[in-house]
Each structure stands twice: as C-alpha cells, then as structure tokens.
C-alpha cells in the first residue's frame, strides 16, 4: 500500500486491517495456490507492476488475502495491463470455523497509463464464524479506468459467516473522496451476501465508488438475532439507499434485529 494514502484511511478500515495482519508470503509473478489447513494461517500478498513505457516498475495494484482457523480453498493472481491484477479467492471453513479477509489497493495513475488524477482506490472485505458455513468466493478485477470485485463462482454466496463486512473508498491527492461500507453480524446463525449481478463494489479513476457496478440488487440476509451497520460518505456527491445528496454528505444506518434480517442496499459516492 502507498504510505501517503494511509493518511486518509477511515478509522474503521484501520481497525479491520490491524485484525487481518498475519505471516505473509509476497508474490510478483502469476501464481496459483491451494490450501487445506486444519488450524493455522494462510496469507499471501500479490503485487502487480507496470511493464509498459508509461510507469515501468511502478505498482498498479496490490492484493492481500488472509485466512485463519481451519479452512480449505484456493487463491490465484496474475498481472494484466499497466500493473493491474486479476485475482480469485475461494475459501471454506472447516468444523470449528475460520476467518477470511481480503484487501486490494489500486493506483489509478499507473493503471490508466496517461490519465493522472492522483486517485488511489482501496477495498476490503471479510467473513468469520465458528462453523463450517463460513465462506468467501471473490473475484477482483483491475482495469485501466475502473476496478471492481465480483462473486466467483456465481453459484455460491460471495460472503457468508456469523459476521461479514465490505468497504470501498478512494482518495484524491491524499484527500478522502468517498467511503462506502456495511457490516452484518448474526449471534445465532449466518449472515449472507448475494448479488443479482455478479459484480459488486467498484472504484473509478476520477475518485468515485459504488456498491452496484453493473446494476442489479445486492441482498443481505441473516438468521437469528444480530446487528447491521451501513455507512456512506461522498465529498461532492452521495446516493444512499435512494437518498441523494447532490453536494456531498454522509449517512449512517444501524440497527438490531431479533429473528431474521433481509434487505437490499445501494450506494454511490464521489
């Protein structure tokens, strides 16, 4: 991660990142890993660098996946054009549970070749739980002008566990441009994220983020009792579950439920 971008990372993001730290292996060439661990940690960081004449050797995207507990699955990663990354994660917990976290950083000055907007993008997501239902099925795709994540494969839930979260944000010249996210926790049962369109959260090269790349609905559900928190911020513009703040603003929605939870969300900020 670019250290200057850390200045604008929200406190919630910093706290989650600190919880995700573990022993890590770093990769700079295409790789594919499978894992089947009864109890322990798997952590891999993949870094893509530009091989074009625009920003040779500069990091365009950096991805980290960390799993702890008992789990099995796979991770792949490879470098695309201008230091972009295509990565996939499929992880399932074993009996006793596990915790999965995924973080992605994008430098759009590098990714877009000749568009210099000084925009950096960030994304993090995670799932944790004490049973074998916990899972993460995620694809991260970096391209020249936009980055997005998606469910992979589409037949499975992207996130499932007793606690799940997602957050995306961008900075522009070190100033926080937007910040969108949610967390859902069930004290008895599981929390699940399903997308009607495989694509989900996204960042753009001019300093914008959305939870609904490619359209469609994003459905959260949970059994039992629990809590929900949704947060949106846009420096110049914000749409939060249909409410429009044309001059920017922030919204927080939170609550607790006693016996089940389901609903959709949609946010855009810049």
246-269 core/surface letters (b: 16 or more CB in 10 A; e: else): eeebebeeeeebeeebeeebbbbb
d(CA 217, CA 139): 18
Percent of the chain with pLDDT over 90: 83
Mean pLDDT of the chain: 90
User: What pLDDT score was predicted for residue 24?
Assistant: 45
Domain that holds residue 240: 3-269
d(CA 44, CA 127): 17
Q: Is the per-residue pLDDT at 27 higher than 70?
A: no
Q: Output the CA–CA distances (angstroms, integers) from residue 136 to 26, 28, 61, 91, 100, in the order listed.
A: 21, 23, 21, 5, 7
Smallest CA-to-CA distance from 228 within 160, 182, 189 is with: 182
User: What pLDDT score was predicted for residue 195?
Assistant: 87
What are 116-172's pLDDT values in tens digits? 999 999 999 999 999 999 999 999 999 999 999 999 998 899 999 999 999 999 999
Nearest-5° angle of CA 164, CA 168, CA 174?
Answer: 145
What are 165-193's pLDDT values in tens digits? 999 999 999 999 999 999 999 988 799 99
Give the chain's radius of gyration (CA, Å).
Answer: 18
Tokens of 41: 């940690």
User: What pLDDT score was predicted for residue 26?
Assistant: 58
Q: Is the per-residue pLDDT at 11 higher than 80?
A: no
What are 77-124's pLDDT values in tens digits? 999 999 999 999 999 999 999 999 999 999 999 999 999 999 999 999
- Domain tally, the chain: 1
d(CA 49, CA 79): 8
DSSP state of 81: G
């Amino acid at each position: 991660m670019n250290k200057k971008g850390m200045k604008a990372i929200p406190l919630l993001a910093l706290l989650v990142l600190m919880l995700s730290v573990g022993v890590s292996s770093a990769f700079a060439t295409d790789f594919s890993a499978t894992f089947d661990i009864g109890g322990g940690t798997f952590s891999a960081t993949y870094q893509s660098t530009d091989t074009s004449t625009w920003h040779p050797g500069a990091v365009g995207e950096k991805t980290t996946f960390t799993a702890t507990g008992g789990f099995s699955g796979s991770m792949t990663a490879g470098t695309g054009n201008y230091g972009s990354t295509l990565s996939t994660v499929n992880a399932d917990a074993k009996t006793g549970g596990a915790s999965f976290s995924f973080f992605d950083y994008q430098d759009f000055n590098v990714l877009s070749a000749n568009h210099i907007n000084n925009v950096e993008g960030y994304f993090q997501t995670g799932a944790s739980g004490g049973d074998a239902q916990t899972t993460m099925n995620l694809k991260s795709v970096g391209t020249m002008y936009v980055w997005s994540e998606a469910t992979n494969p589409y037949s499975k839930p992207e996130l499932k566990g007793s606690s799940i979260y997602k957050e995306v944000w961008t900075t522009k010249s070190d100033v926080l441009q937007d910040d969108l996210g949610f967390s859902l926790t069930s004290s008895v049962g599981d929390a699940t994220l399903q997308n009607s369109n495989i694509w989900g959260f996204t960042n753009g090269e001019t300093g914008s983020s959305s939870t609904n790349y490619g359209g469609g609905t994003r459905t959260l559900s949970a059994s039992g009792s629990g809590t929900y928190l949704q947060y949106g911020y846009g420096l110049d513009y914000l749409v939060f579950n249909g409410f429009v703040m044309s001059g920017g603003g922030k919204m927080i929605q939170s609550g607790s439920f006693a016996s089940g939870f389901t609903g959709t969300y949609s946010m855009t900020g810049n």
